[in-house]
Structure 1
Amino acid sequence: MEGLMSITTSAWSETMHQVPFTAELDDRPESTPPRTLTAIIPTVGRRSLKRAVASVSRQTWPTTALVVLDRPENAASVEKLLQGLPHLLVVSPGGLGGAGARNLGVRSARTTHVAFLDDDDEWVSEKAALQMAVAGEDTVVSSRSLLVGSTSRVVPERLYHSEGDQAVPVVDYVLDRSTLRLRRHFMQTSSLLCSRDTALQVPWNQDLTRHQDWDWLARLEAAGNTLRMLPEVLVRVHQGSTGSISRSADWQASSRWLDSVGPGLSDRSRADFLTSVVARGAFASGAWNQGLRQLARGLRARPHAAAVVLAVSGMLRVGEHGS
């Protein structure tokens, strides 16, 4: 049994009372069913989950919080943690990882649309309403985010555009390293919303240990979906969290993912990624020969200067640790 849906009577009752599924545009024909939304939240049971679910309960658009627990032994503690907050709980067999848990959540949802929320992030109360206003059957919606850490900043600095003079493939947008400010371009899981049909047709890749969101965006676009980014800051992304549901990863996983990306990726974006992510990661892990090899591959394709600087920073990290 791939997932067990757990709905306590009190939780279901609260959901129905606090989140009535009556939101419907007045000019829609009576035969058109109302659009409804589920927030899919994968977790292993971290305490930050309570903050994430609470942010869903504050949405101005009726939204169901569907928690996918990927560590079954924590079911009782999660229910205790979320006591008083409207939610549905799906318990996986365990070990699915972030992508597998999101796919299980999509299959378990019973709404027209789904959105994704990491258990250490939170939504601004208007997120669902603003995104549902522009979401279509084949339109995936993102937004700006606030990165919260030792300092806070709004990302991305440059919005993604799928049309007009600034239009580029989404994978080129997220991999661009034309500046040392790594958050100039940004599109992250907790900002994404789409129709449930779209998420069923293009599931998350469960074999990946890194770059799951970038991979999903690239495949969504390749399948003919339109990606739209709103200028509003609708997500708070908390940095430095530990114990994530995502599996551990290294530079080799990044290299394998890059090799799997199709011809839609430009040579320069590929070069940027090879130098700033793969080579830098290899250097930082002490794999000097592989780092030099990946750096040489990247340099042949002429990456941006900022990407090369980032690769060199991986060398410096090794030097600092060894001194």
Structure 2
Amino acid sequence: MTGRETGPLVSVIVPTFNRPAALRAAAESVNAQTYDSIQLIVVDDSTTPAETALTGLDLDAIAEIHFIRSGNPQGAAAARNRGIAAADGTYVAFLDDDDRWDLEKIEKQVEAFEAAAPDVGVVYTGQRYVDEAGRTTTIRTPTTHGWVTKQLLAGAPLAPFSTVMVRASAIEEAGTIDERFPIWEDREWYLRLSMVCQFVAVPEPLVIRKMGDHGQLSSDFARIRDVSYPLFLDTHAPLAASYGMERAFAASMARMLAVAALDTGHYKDARHASLRAIRAGPTNGTSWVYLALSLGGRFTYRLAQVLKRRLSTPQASNNTSP
């Protein structure tokens, strides 16, 4: 270990469901951190107890390891909330079992917290995507920071759970993850957190994600369209109105719906969502781009994705060490 011998306890929550190999790699990623004061909480919805998957691994660098078994799995949001309830740390971090962390991820986030103002409650990092050979294909650098409520209402991007560390006191104030949301529950939670604390972005891509590993939930477009989208609008329309951002909020949510539709091949829905976004905010060029892509169909959208990926591929993409 190269980090400090002592420091504020960080509770790391790893939900898992029937992926023992992925869980082993995730636990090893936590164990390899340069920060020592870590409590690992595995929230296990698996058919076979996940604890057996870690048998024989050298995880001695982790200060505490706890397993929470559920006899009634209720999804990722509920699993993370069970982990939050069991967490003892000053800070709470999340790691999806199919993601990995850079060795210094926790250390750099704790340092960012300690260097920040007391009202900072969320520190999140950049991320990089790798292909099956471990080559970096895309790097995403975070830019949204500070008091970010208005930015989020207008559609500013953030990042997935694996990039995020949250001060425990901010969770107490904002509340836990809303389990009514089958998808987009992360963004909904960030919006509530943004009302009680500031956000800090660590630009380095300290989270490693594999291309294609995160489509399971987003592929269920019906749940986005019929549950998460209307629920998000209903829940936060009053907040948007308080900022005079009703139309900007409606447009941003319609754009999110359009992207989900494009990603899953629902081009008719993408057209409807794009038009909805244009009606709410006709000067936003992105909405018009989504409309054009929806009209072009699968070939046009896939070509646009390939071009975007090539333009965003870093020069160091021949690095095969994730």
Specify the TM-score bucket, using the shorter chain as the normaliser: 0.7 to 0.9
Aligned in 2, Cα 1:251/1:149: closer, same or farther, shift over 3 Å? farther
1:190 pairs with one of 145, 158, 162: 162
Question: 1:152 deviation in Å?
Answer: 1.6
Query: 2: CA distance between counterparts of 1:195 and 1:302?
Result: 35
Query: 2: CA distance between counterparts of 1:311 and 1:134?
Result: 40
1:228 aligns with 2:200: yes
What do residues 130-188 of structure 1 show as CA deviations (whole Å, max 9, x unaligned)? 111232575211011112237622113x511316xxx7734146x24xxxxxxxx4422
1:307 pairs with one of 279, 287, 291: 287
1:56 pairs with one of 30, 41, 46: 30
Q: Which runs of 5+ in 2 are unaligned?
A: 60-64, 301-322
Question: 1:81 deviation in Å?
Answer: 2.2
Per the normalisation by structure 2, the TM-score is 0.73
Could you say which residue in structure 2 is the equivalent of 1:28? Answer: none
Per the normalisation by structure 1, the TM-score is 0.73
Could you say which residue in structure 2 is the equivalent of 1:153? Answer: 138
Aligned in 2, Cα 1:230/1:297: closer, same or farther, shift over 3 Å? same
Question: 1:318 deviation in Å?
Answer: 6.3
Could you say which residue in structure 1 is the equivalent of 2:53? Answer: 81
2:181 pairs with one of 192, 208, 216: 208
Give the share of equivalent positions with the same residue, in percent: 22
Question: 1:45 deviation in Å?
Answer: 2.6
- Aligned CA-pair RMSD: 3.3
Could you say which residue in structure 2 is the equivalent of 1:171? Answer: 152
Could you say which residue in structure 1 is the equivalent of 2:315? Answer: none
Greater fraction of residues in helix: 2
Aligned in 2, Cα 1:85/1:42: closer, same or farther, shift over 3 Å? farther
**Match of 1:132, as an amino acid?**
V
Could you say which residue in structure 2 is the equivalent of 1:182? Answer: none
Query: 2: CA distance between counterparts of 1:66 and 1:141?
Result: 20
**Match of 2:126, as an amino acid?**
R
Question: 1:102 deviation in Å?
Answer: 0.7
Residue correspondences, number: 275
Answer whether contact 1:121 1:236 (CA < 8 A) is retained.
yes
Could you say which residue in structure 1 is the equivalent of 2:75? Answer: 97
